[in-house]
A and B are shown apart, each in its own frame.
Chain A
Amino acid sequence: MTYEAGQELPPLERRIGLADMIAYAGATWDWYRLHYDPEFVARQKLPAPVVDGQVFGALLVEQIQDWLGPRCFVHKLDFSFKALVFAEEIVRCEGTVTEVGDGYLVLEQRVVVVGPDGGVDRVAAGPAHARVLLGTPDGPGATPGTTSGTASGRASGAASGEAGAR
C-alpha cells in the first residue's frame, strides 16, 4: 500500500451509549458523576451525561490503527476540544494524510457528532494532528529485544499487508 497527501482515512463511527460511558469510567478510574449520573447533570443544566473528552483521543488512535494495522506506532497526537458530546450520540472520526515521510505519516483528524441525516452536526474535537511511525509495532523508546519491528520502514509499502489484518 502506498500513501499520499490528501488521502482520506476510513472513517470510524461509534454510538457512545450510557453503558459505554460507565464502562469507560470504570476502565479509567474516573467516576465523576458528570459522565453517567442524570440527576447530577440536570443540576448542571445539561441535557444528558457528558462523554469524557479523553475518549476522543482513544478513538482517534483506534482509527489510525484500524487503517494501518498492527505494525504502526502512534508517536504523537494532539487535539482541541470544541463541543460537548452527550450520551447516546454518534461520533465519527475523520482524517486525511497531510505529509508522507520516510517511515512516517502525518495526519489531520477530527471527531464530529453525526446528525440525523448522517452529516456533521458539530465538531467535538479538532483539529487533531497525529504523527505515525510505519513498519514498527512499537515506539522509539522500546528496549531492543522486546520488539522485533523496525522503526525505519518506508512510507511506501511499510505497512502493506498489515492493514485490515485484525
Chain B
Amino acid sequence: MTLLTEDIRALVGRRKVYTAPEEFGAAAGRYFGLAIGDLNPLYSDPEYARAQGLAGVTAPPTLICETNQYANLPLTPDGDAGHNWGIEIAGTRKVRGGNSYTFHRRIRPEDVITATWEIADATEKTTRSGSEMLIITSRATYTDQHDEVLAENEETIIFVSLEPGASGAGA
C-alpha cells in the first residue's frame, strides 16, 4: 500500500501564514538564552552587543524558527498550540527527520515577524529494513515588517509504516 496517496500529493503547495501581533522584544531572546543555558551577553547586554558592532541585543538565532510564538493557535488538551498541517496517517508512526536553517541576519527586538509555511514536497521511500515511509518537507520563510527575509527553515516529517522493521528518530 502506498503512503503517497493523491490526497497527500494534493497537499504540496499548501501554505499557512502567521504574523506576530507585536514586536519580537528583547525579553524573548534573553529568556530563550537562559532556557538553553546560553548566557552569551549578545542576548542581554546592549552595550556589549553594540561594542561588537550590532545595533543592540539580539536573540539566539534558532529562536525565530519557533513558530508557536507567532501562531496564536488554541491550546489542545495535549498542550500543543503550534503550527502543524494536521496530517495523520493510520498505521504509521510520525517522527521528525531534521532541519535545515539559513539565517540572513540577527533578530532585533523591534522586528515584527511573519512566518510563511509551505509544504514543499512529499516523497515515498523504503527504509533499509523494508518499511514504507512518507517524507513531508515543509519550508518556512520568516520576514520582518518590511518584507525582508530574516531566515528560512526547511524541515522534514517522516511517517513510517508500522509494518515490521519500522525506524525513526526525533521528537
Interface segment, one of A1-9, A19-27, A96-104 = A19-27
Set B54, B96, B170: member contacting A137, Cβ < 8 A: B54
Q: Mark B72-100, 1 if CB is under 8 A from A, else 0.
A: 00010011111000000000000111111
In the assembled complex, B35 has its CB within 8 A of some CB on chain A: yes
Interface segment, one of B1-9, B57-65, B115-123, B125-133 = B57-65
Contact B60 A62 (CB under 8 A): yes
Contact A31 B75 (CB under 8 A): yes
In the assembled complex, B145 has its CB within 8 A of some CB on chain A: no
Q: How far is the CA of A24 from the CA of B68 in the complex (A)?
A: 12
Contact B171 A50 (CB under 8 A): yes
How many A-B pairs fall under 8 Å by CB? 171
Contact B40 A32 (CB under 8 A): no
Contact B99 A57 (CB under 8 A): yes
Q: How far is the CA of A26 from the CA of B35 in the complex (A)?
A: 8
Q: How far is the CA of A61 from the CA of B37 in the complex (A)?
A: 12
Among B112-171, those with CB < 8 Å from A are 148-150, 169-171
Known contacts A27-B28, A29-B68, A61-B60; A81 and B170 CB within 8 A of each other? yes
Known contacts A26-B35, A62-B36, A62-B38; A149 and B103 CB within 8 A of each other? no
Q: Give the interface SS of chain A, mostly helix, strand, loop or mixed.
A: mixed
Closest Cβ–Cβ distance, residue A124 to chain B (whole Å): 8
Known contacts A24-B35, A58-B60, A81-B96; A65 and B40 CB within 8 A of each other? yes
Q: Mark A42-86, 1 if CB is under 8 A from B, else 0.
A: 000000001111110111011001100011011111111111100
In the assembled complex, B104 has its CB within 8 A of some CB on chain A: yes
Set A29, A53, A71, A140: member contacting B69, Cβ < 8 A: A29
**Chain A contacts for B54, CB-based, 8 A:** 137-138, 146-147
Closest partner residue, chain B, to A24 (CB atom)? B35
Closest partner residue, chain A, to B38 (CB atom)? A62
Contact B35 A166 (CB under 8 A): no
Closest Cβ–Cβ distance, residue A11 to chain B (whole Å): 14
Contact A80 B97 (CB under 8 A): yes
**Chain A contacts for B49, CB-based, 8 A:** 70
Closest partner residue, chain B, to A63 (CB atom)? B38
Contact B103 A139 (CB under 8 A): yes
In the assembled complex, B106 has its CB within 8 A of some CB on chain A: yes
- Hey, which bits of chain B sit against chain A, CB under 8 A? 28, 31-32, 34-42, 48-49, 52-55, 60-63, 65-66, 68-69, 75, 78-82, 95-106, 108, 148-150, 169-171
The 5 tightest CB contacts between A and B, nearest first, are A81-B170, A141-B104, A80-B98, A29-B68, A78-B100
Sampled A-B contacts (15; CB under 8 Å): A27-B34, A27-B63, A28-B32, A28-B63, A28-B69, A30-B68, A32-B78, A37-B79, A71-B53, A77-B101, A79-B98, A81-B98, A81-B169, A84-B171, A166-B40
